[in-house]
């Protein structure tokens, strides 16, 4: 058996113990004992069991003892309440400096887990609760599995930049077939790390019995006794004979990865698919060795280190907003006003009512618009019912909470009013002044502006201290980020109240200074400016648009322009050009495209394929200084590095971590870039552009 | 028109293994125990459509925390019964489960319902006896009860005082008999079939299943009992060895009208003949079974000699001896507690009644020459409970 020492600097392992208790199976009509091994790290369900070096060794020892004990006729693994195990303890991985250490981590997992498949006695895992990654792999190594109806399982490795490399990539495809294995290992992981419910796990063949949680262990022991006695036979399908389904499944996986990262070659899904393909013909030893190699390689990449950094960042900052005032300062919000009844305002109203379940009042300049906005929200609620995501009574409750009027005096009893009117300073100033005559002095005034000065909007107010920026990302119901902007006047009470509201909306929040375009739009606009400049200068459109694709971003810049609308993008670039300076360029081609009313750069052709929109290209005038893709990429990333450094110097946000979080949660940039700054550090762009890194080496990269 | 009176049958009775307070179930909730008993009961009766259950009556002596919240309803929900099945909580201290049975049976007998689950739970480790009690000062100020009426061990000593011929030696001999009978019943697999395994966890040891009672002390000797302290009184007679301990456990019984039992193909293990509750002086509460049994026999038109099997709860040996003494039955009569009793297996207060019923039903099944049996218990604050049952398998006079 391989042994492993924790890398230097790694936090002390929270050991998941393997507690063995033997149960006499005589009352179940089986001579002999069932060794029940409980995985338990001694903490409650908020700190799930994980597998580190010590815990694995302990499990190995217990399995060896159970094997040697002639009275033991079967071995079953289960977890502490609600949790089987949430996978490998990744906290040590970030401290691995050498390939040999990475290799040892990979091997140790295999050495221990494979005992379950080679014990010479029937082995079981009773999946009593959450089983992720290595937690599910323990179960896959066992001969049989029961699952509690309330359990959730998944293999999130590819989502994190790894592969299910403690046996998962080899055992799962052979157990449930390539198609379903690709679904679990690749498609689910790439789809925001989707999990499987227990019934899904049972139907897919991962579990052999689906049992009620109320007497899960009792019934699992009965199941084990039936199997051990031979009274129950579980038959397995051999999926390895026909290669065609394997090829088809691998192709589906590849297509999904290509779509997710718009063609970028991302190692984790590629390696996982290779391993799945291999599992059809490889022996256990060969397959596990290949997993070891893949894990070792991936652990020694910057992408994985950045992914772990990103994952931890999202977990931590999703729970606690950095720099937030004490939550006890927050005032209760029992009624919300949304000014405007257009699409954005209506989406905001829908979000507020769904999450907060308080009265939401919409207004607009005439009754027709008001009615349209309210009707939109009501219709969206009805859609949720027809999709089965909301019950009729719950929908009735929400529908009754959303009302509208032309007269703004109905905002008098609101605790929180947010505006989503036309993006023009004078319009917003006038609105806020008008609202101040109606609302109480404590009522929060929030603005969903994307690039205007929040302080500017509150200039003429008697109570500017209750104004906050509350900037959502499209689509507001789906994108997790909310930028909360404070002006120099904004009080802690107002900020705390805004944060409390954001929490109820289930948003990940970052507190920013009241600076133009806050974080995400400022970086994106600067980046877009370089791409459109390159195109304007003469770089072929496709080259400019795909120059940054190797990063694996969710979409190209021009696709995104189409989504937000060229007019909006142009407006933001003009605003930032005026407020932040000429480094924010305004594209002449964009101007003519907006002037002509062209709204998208790509269209679906008659064959249903996405192709460049000829209407847009007819309007584009290009210069005679083309750049290569590499040049465009370096130029665009350099701009991001410069701008990010300026934002930190200006204290728009306090830390580089907040910038990274913003890019992941607001722009959907992938975990393996670390948001963006770790990528800029490792590609040398940070130092070239700003003379220094954003993160010390090792924080989000290889040491 | 309302329904006609109908016969009430015991279809089945089960229980969890009993534990010593603070031991076997120290990390198990009380509601989980009774849920497990109910689910085990349903598993054993697969012919019963769950939506046909009309009522779930669950007793607990301390109705707070995990024994609160109308435990009959919460247990029904947690056991996964259809939401249409109602439930209620019931309390008559030690006779809780017995009262759950008689109350639910009364509703069946009246024709208001046809099928009920009745049982009880007591987790004395989580809920020490008298937890949160706030006795009215008038009890003592007006001499409504004596000072020690609420201390069960003291009431047992009081009973010894009243019946001095029932000595400590006889009590200890009876206690040893209880242990011996229990050991023999275990050896003959007379107890295990009615036990529902319960998953139990210990933070440092992990999960296992509780399969058997924890309290029994097989091989207990008279000498060992004689050496025990008498905690309620210096030179007293009542000790931990001749009384039931502090225990955790749950029970559940299935009751049905005769017609519906036949319709659904449910087993009829016993027919409820009649029942009675009676009051006595609180300071000698252990005497309660005597008047309760007299009352029940009278209503049934039976004599004590008609009773072929007795299940007398062994809260204290002296209280069983007092009952036997009154009716002229020998201390070691084979008809009495043939599988042992609470002195050996434990007495989780409000759950015990159904344990007596389960034992009686097993006795009926074993011996078809027996026609009538009784289950009887003493109850704190001076009461007794007696239920008379008829053996459906009785073969008639020979």
Residue A80 to chain B, least CA–CA distance (Å): 8
For residue range A615-648, what is the model confidence (pLDDT) as tens digits? Answer: 888 888 999 999 999 999 999 999 999 999 999 9
**Torsional sign, CA A90, A91, A97, A103:** negative
Q: Spell out the domain ranges in chain A.
A: 17-300, 327-513, 520-651
- A78 contacts B201? CB cut-off 8 A: no
CA angle at A316 for the pair A312 and A322, rounded to the nearest 5°: 130
Cα A25 to Cα B163: distance, rounded to the nearest angstrom = 48
Flag if A214 and B79 touch (Cβ within 8 Å).
Answer: yes
Distance, CA of B36 to CA of A544 (rounded, Å): 66
Between chains, do B203 and A42 touch, taking CB under 8 Å as contact?
A: yes
| B168 touches A: beta carbon within 8 Å | no
Residue A2 has pLDDT above 60, yes or no: no
Is A157 one of the annotated active-site residues of the chain? yes
Query: What pLDDT, on a 0 to 100 scale, did the predictor assign at position B328?
Result: 98
B chain contacts of residue A215, beta-carbon cutoff 8 Å: 36, 39-40, 199
Predicted confidence band at A4 (pLDDT cuts at 50, 70, 90)? Answer: low
The minimal CB distance from B197 to the residues A42, A80, A218 is found for A218
3-state secondary structure of A89: coil
Q: Please say whether the beta carbons of A528 and A586 come within 8 A.
A: no
Reduce the DSSP state of residue A337 to 3 states and report it: strand
Residue B358 corresponds to which tokens in the numbers above?
């389960």
Alpha carbon distance B378, B124 (integer Å): 18
Instruction: Give the minimum alpha-carbon distance from B50 to chain A in angstroms, rounded to a whole number.
Output: 16
B221 Cβ under 8 Å from any chain A Cβ: no
A484 SS3 class: strand
- Assigned fold of B145-190+273-390: Peroxisomal Thiolase; Chain A, domain 1 (3.40.47)
How far away is chain B from the Cα of A44, in angstroms, using its nearest Cα? 10
- Cα B94 off chain centre by: 7
pLDDT at B397 > cutoff 60: yes
Element (H, E) at A315: helix A302-319
Are the Cβ atoms of B206 and A20 closer than 8 angstroms?
yes
Give the closest residue to B223 by CA, choosing from B164, B174, B166, B176. B176
Please check whether the two domains, A17-300 and A327-513, share a CATH topology. no
Note whether A29 contacts B: Cβ–Cβ < 8 A. Answer: no
| Overall average pLDDT of the A200-218 stretch | 98
Interface test with chain A among B43, B206, B211, B252, by most A beta carbons within 10 Å: B206
The upper half-sphere exposure of residue A236, i.e. CA atoms within 13 Å in the direction of its Cβ, equals 15
Q: Is residue B207 less than 8 Å (CB to CB) from chain A?
A: yes
pLDDT given at position A1: 42
Name the nearest CA neighbour of B357 among B308, B296, B313, B306. B313
B343 close to B243: Cβ distance less than 8 angstroms: yes
Whether residue A214 and residue B207 make contact (CB cut-off 8 A), yes or no, is: no
Contact A217 B209 (CB under 8 A): yes
Do the beta carbons of residue B193 and residue B12 sit within 8 Å? no
Record: contact A212-B80, CB cut-off 8 A:
yes
Task: Determine the Cα–Cα distance for residues B186 and B134; give it in Å rounded to an integer.
Answer: 41
Helix A367-386 to helix A343-356 angle, to the nearest 10 degrees?
50
Q: Tell me the sheet residues that pair with B260.
A: none
Q: Which of A440, A429, A482 is nearest to A337 (CA)?
A: A440
CA dist B233 and B216 (Å) reads: 25
Cis peptide before B371 (omega within 30 of 0): no
Residue A194: Cβ-neighbour burial (10 angstroms; 0-12, 13-18, 19+): middle
What residues in B contact A216, CB-CB < 8 Å? 199
3-state secondary structure A197-235: EHHHHHHCCCCCEEECHHHHHHHHHHHHHHHHHCCCCCC
Compute the distance between CA of residue B296 and CA of residue B308 in angstroms, rounded to an integer.
Answer: 15
Candidates 1.10.1040.50, 2.60.120.620, 1.10.1040.10, 3.30.565.10; correct CATH number of A520-651? Answer: 1.10.1040.50
Residue ranges of alpha helices (H) inside A261-301 are 267-279, 284-299
Spatial distance between the Cα atoms of A237 and A174, rounded to a whole number of angstroms? 8
Residues in a beta bridge with A211: A148
CB < 8 Å from A in window 184-203 of B: 192, 197-199, 201, 203
CATH number of A327-513: 3.40.50.720
On whether any CB of chain B is under 8 Å from the CB of A215, the answer is: yes
Do B122 and B351 form a contact (C-beta atoms < 8 A)? yes
CB pairs under 8 A between A and B: 52
Q: Which has more confidence, A620 or A336?
A: A336
Question: Looking at the complex, does the CB of residue A37 fall below 8 Å from at least one CB of chain B?
Answer: yes
Mean pLDDT for the stretch of residues B361-385: 97
Of the candidates A20, A38, A221, which has its C-beta nearest B209's C-beta?
Answer: A221
The Cα–Cα gap between A255 and B219 comes to 73
What is the 3-state secondary structure of B326-379? HHCCCCCCCCECCCCCHHHHCCCHHHHHHHHHHHHHHHHHHCCCCCEEEEEEEE
CA distance A27 to chain B (A): 8
Which residues, 6+ apart, have CB-to-CB distance to A611 below 8 Å? A602, A603, A604, A605
Q: Do A218 and B209 touch (CB under 8 A)?
A: yes
Q: At A136, which helix (H) or strand (E)?
A: helix A134-141
User: Which residues in chain A have their CB less than 8 angstroms from residue B204's CB?
Assistant: 19
pLDDT-derived band at B15 (thresholds 50, 70, 90) equals very high
Neighbours of A607 (CB within 10 A): 6
Nearest CA to B344 out of B68, B24, B10, B17 is that of B17
Mutate to test the interface with B, among A218, A219, A224, A225 (most CBs of B within 10 A): A218
Closest-CA residue of chain A to B211: A27
Asked if the model's pLDDT at residue A7 lies above 80, the reply is: no
For residues A594 and A25, give the distance between their C-alpha atoms in angstroms, rounded to a whole number: 77
Please give the pLDDT value at position B3.
62
**CA atoms in the 13 A half-sphere facing the CB of B363:** 26
Kindly tell me the number of DSSP H helices and DSSP E strands found in chain B.
Answer: 12, 12
Q: Is the alpha carbon torsion for A253, A257, A262, A268 positive or negative?
A: negative
DSSP state letter for B136: -
Annotated catalytic residue: which of A12, A58, A118, A137?
A137
Cβ neighbours of B39 in A, within 8 Å = 212, 214-215
pLDDT score of B2 more than 80:
no
Contacts of A671 (CB under 8 A, 6+ apart): A159, A160, A161, A306, A307, A310, A311, A664
Burial class (CB in 10 A: 0-12, 13-18, 19+), B70: middle
pLDDT tens sequence across A162-208: 999 999 999 999 999 999 999 999 999 999 899 999 999 999 999 99
Can you tell me the distance from the alpha carbon of A244 to that of A252, in angstroms, rounded to the nearest whole number? 12
Q: CA angle at residue A10 from A4 to A14, to 5 degrees?
A: 80
> pLDDT per residue over A46-88, tens digit each?
999 999 999 999 999 999 999 999 999 999 999 999 999 999 9
User: How many Å lie between the alpha carbon of B74 and the closest alpha carbon of chain A?
Assistant: 13
Q: Which residue out of A26, A33, A85, A214 would a mutagenesis test of the B interface target, given it has the greatest number of B Cβ atoms within 10 Å?
A: A214
Cα–Cα distances in angstroms (integers) from residue A367 to residues A377, A419, B154, in the given order: 15, 18, 81
Q: What is the C-alpha separation between B199 and B194, in angstroms, rounded?
A: 16
CA angle B275/B279/B285 to nearest 5° reads 110
Domain segments of chain B as ranges: 145-190+273-390
- Please give the structure tokens belonging to residue B384: 């007794």
Which fold does the domain A17-300 belong to in CATH?
A: 2-enoyl-CoA Hydratase; Chain A, domain 1 (3.90.226)
Q: Do B203 and A38 touch (CB under 8 A)?
A: no
Beta strands of A399-507 (E only): which ranges?
402-405, 416-419, 444-447, 467-472, 481-486
Is the Cβ pair B206, A36 closer than 8 Å? yes
Residue A290 CB partners (closer than 8 Å, separation 6+): A170, A274, A275, A278, A282
Query: Could you tell me if A122 and A144 are in contact, meaning their C-beta atoms sit under 8 angstroms apart?
Result: yes
Which residues, other chains included, contact A89 with Cβ-Cβ below 8 Å and sequence gap of 6+? A13, A14, A50, A51, A52, A55
- Output DSSP code: residue B94: B
Give the three-class secondary structure for A1: coil
CA nearest neighbour of B250 among B6, B78, B8:
B78
Nearest to A27 among B78, B192, B201 (CB): B192
Task: Decide if A47 touches B, using CB distance below 8 A.
Answer: no
pLDDT value at residue A9:
79
The whole-number average pLDDT for the span A525-543 is 94
Over residues B45-61, the pLDDT tens digits come to 999 999 999 999 999 99
CB-based contact A37 B206, cutoff 8 Å: yes
- CA–CA–CA angle B337, B343, B346 (5° rounding): 105
Chain B nearest C-alpha distance from A76 (Å): 11
CA A665 to chain CA centroid, nearest Å:
7
pLDDT value of residue A5: 66
* Residue B177 reports pLDDT greater than 60: yes
The predicted-structure confidence for B288-329, as pLDDT tens digits, reads as follows: 999 999 999 999 999 999 999 999 999 999 999 999 999 999
B126 touching A (Cβ < 8 Å): no
Say what the pTM is.
0.93
**pLDDT of A529 over the 60 cut:** yes
Mutate to test the interface with A, among B80, B207, B212 (most CBs of A within 10 A): B207
User: Please, what is the Cα angle at A124 between A119 and A129, to 5 degrees?
Assistant: 140
A23 neighbourhood in chain B, CB within 8 Å: 208-209, 211
* Closest chain B C-alpha to A26 CA, distance in angstroms: 11
CA distance B109 to chain A (A): 32
Is the CB of residue A249 less than 8 Å from the CB of residue A181?
yes
Q: Report the distance separating Cα A124 and Cα A420, nearest Å.
A: 57
């Amino acid at each position: 058996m391989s042994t492993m020492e924790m890398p230097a600097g790694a936090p002390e392992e929270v050991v998941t113990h393997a507690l063995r208790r033997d149960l006499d199976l005589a009352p179940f009509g089986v001579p002999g004992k069932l060794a029940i091994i409980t995985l338990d790290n001694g903490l409650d369900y908020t700190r799930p069991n994980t597998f580190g070096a010590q815990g694995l060794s302990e499990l190995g020892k217990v399995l060896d003892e159970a094997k040697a004990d002639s009275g033991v006729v079967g071995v079953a693994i289960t977890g502490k309440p609600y949790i089987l195990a949430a996978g490998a303890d990744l906290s040590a991985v970030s401290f691995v400096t050498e390939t040999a250490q990475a290799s040892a981590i990979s091997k140790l997992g295999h050495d221990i887990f494979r005992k379950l498949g080679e014990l010479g006695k029937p082995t079981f895992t009773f999946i009593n609760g959450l089983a992720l990654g290595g937690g599910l792999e323990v179960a896959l190594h066992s001969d049989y599995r029961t699952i509690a109806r309330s359990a959730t399982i998944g293999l999130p490795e590819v989502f994190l930049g790894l592969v299910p490399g403690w046996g998962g990539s080899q055992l799962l495809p052979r157990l449930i077939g390539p198609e379903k294995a690709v679904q679990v290992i690749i498609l689910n992981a790439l789809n925001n790390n989707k999990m499987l419910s227990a019934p899904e796990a049972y139907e897919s063949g991962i579990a052999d019995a689906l049992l009620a949680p109320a007497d899960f262990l009792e019934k699992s022991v009965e199941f084990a006794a039936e199997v051990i006695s031979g009274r129950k036979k579980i038959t397995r399908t051999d999926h390895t004979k026909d290669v065609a389904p394997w090829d088809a499944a691998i192709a589906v996986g590849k297509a999904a990865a290509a779509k997710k990262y718009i063609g970028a070659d991302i190692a984790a899904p590629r390696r996982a698919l290779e391993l799945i393909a291999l599992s059809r013909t490889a022996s256990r030893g060969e397959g596990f060795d290949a997993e070891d190699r893949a894990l070792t390689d991936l652990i020694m990449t910057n992408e994985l280190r950045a992914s772990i950094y990103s994952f931890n960042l999202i977990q931590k900052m999703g729970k606690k907003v950095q720099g937030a005032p004490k939550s006890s300062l927050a005032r209760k919000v029992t009624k919300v006003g949304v000014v405007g009844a257009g699409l954005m305002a209506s989406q905001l109203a829908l979000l507020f009512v769904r999450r907060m379940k308080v009265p939401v009042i919409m207004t607009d300049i005439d009754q027709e618009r008001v009615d349209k906005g309210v009707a939109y929200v009501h219709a969206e609620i009805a859609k949720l019912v027809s999709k089965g995501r909301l019950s009729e009574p719950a929908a009735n409750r929400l529908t009754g909470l959303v009302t509208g009027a032309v007269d703004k005096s109905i905002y008098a009893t609101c605790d929180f009013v947010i505006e989503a009117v036309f993006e023009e300073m004078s319009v917003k100033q006038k609105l806020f002044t008008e609202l101040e005559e109606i609302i109480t002095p404590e009522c929060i005034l929030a603005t969903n502006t994307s690039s205007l000065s929040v302080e500017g909007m509150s200039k003429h107010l008697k109570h500017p201290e209750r104004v906050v920026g509350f900037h959502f990302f499209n689509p507001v119901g789906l994108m997790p980020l909310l930028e909360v902007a404070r002006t120099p006047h904004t009080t802690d009470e107002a900020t705390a109240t805004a944060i409390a509201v954001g929490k109820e909306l289930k948003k990940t929040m970052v507190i920013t200074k009241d600076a133009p375009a806050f974080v995400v739009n400022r970086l994106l606009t600067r980046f877009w400016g370089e791409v459109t400049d390159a195109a304007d200068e003469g770089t072929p459109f496709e080259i400019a648009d795909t120059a940054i694709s190797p990063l694996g971003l969710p979409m190209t810049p021009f696709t995104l322009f189409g989504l937000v609308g060229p007019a909006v993008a142009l407006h933001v670039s003009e605003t930032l050009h005026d407020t932040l300076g000429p480094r924010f360029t305004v594209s002449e081609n964009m101007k003519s495209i907006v002037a002509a009313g062209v709204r998208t750069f790509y269209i679906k052709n008659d064959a249903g394929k996405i192709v460049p929109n000829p209407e847009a290209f007819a309007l584009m005038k290009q210069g005679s200084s083309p750049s290569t893709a590499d040049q465009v990429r370096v130029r665009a990333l350099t701009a991001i590095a410069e701008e990010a450094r300026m934002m930190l110097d200006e204290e728009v946000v306090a830390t580089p971590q907040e910038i990274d979080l913003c890019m992941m949660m607001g722009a959907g940039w992938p975990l393996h870039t670390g948001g963006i700054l770790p990528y800029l550090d490792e590609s040398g762009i940070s130092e070239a552009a700003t003379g220094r890194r954003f993160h010390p080496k090792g924080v989000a990269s290889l040491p | 028109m309302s329904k006609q009176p109908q016969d009430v049958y015991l279809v089945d009775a089960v229980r969890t293994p009993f534990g010593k307070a603070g031991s076997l179930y120290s990390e198990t909730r009380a509601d989980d125990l009774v849920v497990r008993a109910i689910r085990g009961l349903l598993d054993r009766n697969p012919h019963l459509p769950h939506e046909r259950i009309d009522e779930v009556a669950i007793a607990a002596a301390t109705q707070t925390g995990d024994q609160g919240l109308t435990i009959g309803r919460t247990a029904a929900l947690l056991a996964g019964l259809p939401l249409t099945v109602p439930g209620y909580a019931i309390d008559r201290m030690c006779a809780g489960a017995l009262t759950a049975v008689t109350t639910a049976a009364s509703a069946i007998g009246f024709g208001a319902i046809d099928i009920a689950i009745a049982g009880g739970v007591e987790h004395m480790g989580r809920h020490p006896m008298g937890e949160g009690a706030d006795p009215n000062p008038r009890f003592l100020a007006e001499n409504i009860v004596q000072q020690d009426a609420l201390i069960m061990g003291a009431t047992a000593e009081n009973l010894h005082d009243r019946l001095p011929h029932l000595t400590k030696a006889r009590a200890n001999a009876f206690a040893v008999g209880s242990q011996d009978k229990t050991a023999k019943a275990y050896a003959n697999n007379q107890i295990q079939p009615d036990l529902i395994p319960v998953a139990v966890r210990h933070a440092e040891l992990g999960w296992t299943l509780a399969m058997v009672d924890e309290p029994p002390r097989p091989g207990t000797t008279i000498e060992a009992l004689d050496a025990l302290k008498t905690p309620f009184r210096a030179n007293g007679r009542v000790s931990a060895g001749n009384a039931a301990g502090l225990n955790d456990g749950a029970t559940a019984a299935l009751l049905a009208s005769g017609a519906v039992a036949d319709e659904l193909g449910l087993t009829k293990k016993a027919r409820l003949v009649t029942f009675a509750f009676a009051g006595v002086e609180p300071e000698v509460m252990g005497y309660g079974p005597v008047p309760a049994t007299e009352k029940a026999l009278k209503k049934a038109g039976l004599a004590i000699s008609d009773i072929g099997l007795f299940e007398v709860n062994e809260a204290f040996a002296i209280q069983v001896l007092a009952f036997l003494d009154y009716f002229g039955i020998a201390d070691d009569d084979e008809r009495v507690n043939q599988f042992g009793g609470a002195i050996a297996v434990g007495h989780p207060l409000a759950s015990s009644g159904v344990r007596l019923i389960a034992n009686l039903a097993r006795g009926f099944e074993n011996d078809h020459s027996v026609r009538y049996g009784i289950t009887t218990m003493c109850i704190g604050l001076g009461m007794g409970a007696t239920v008379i049952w008829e053996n459906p398998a009785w073969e008639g006079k020979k």
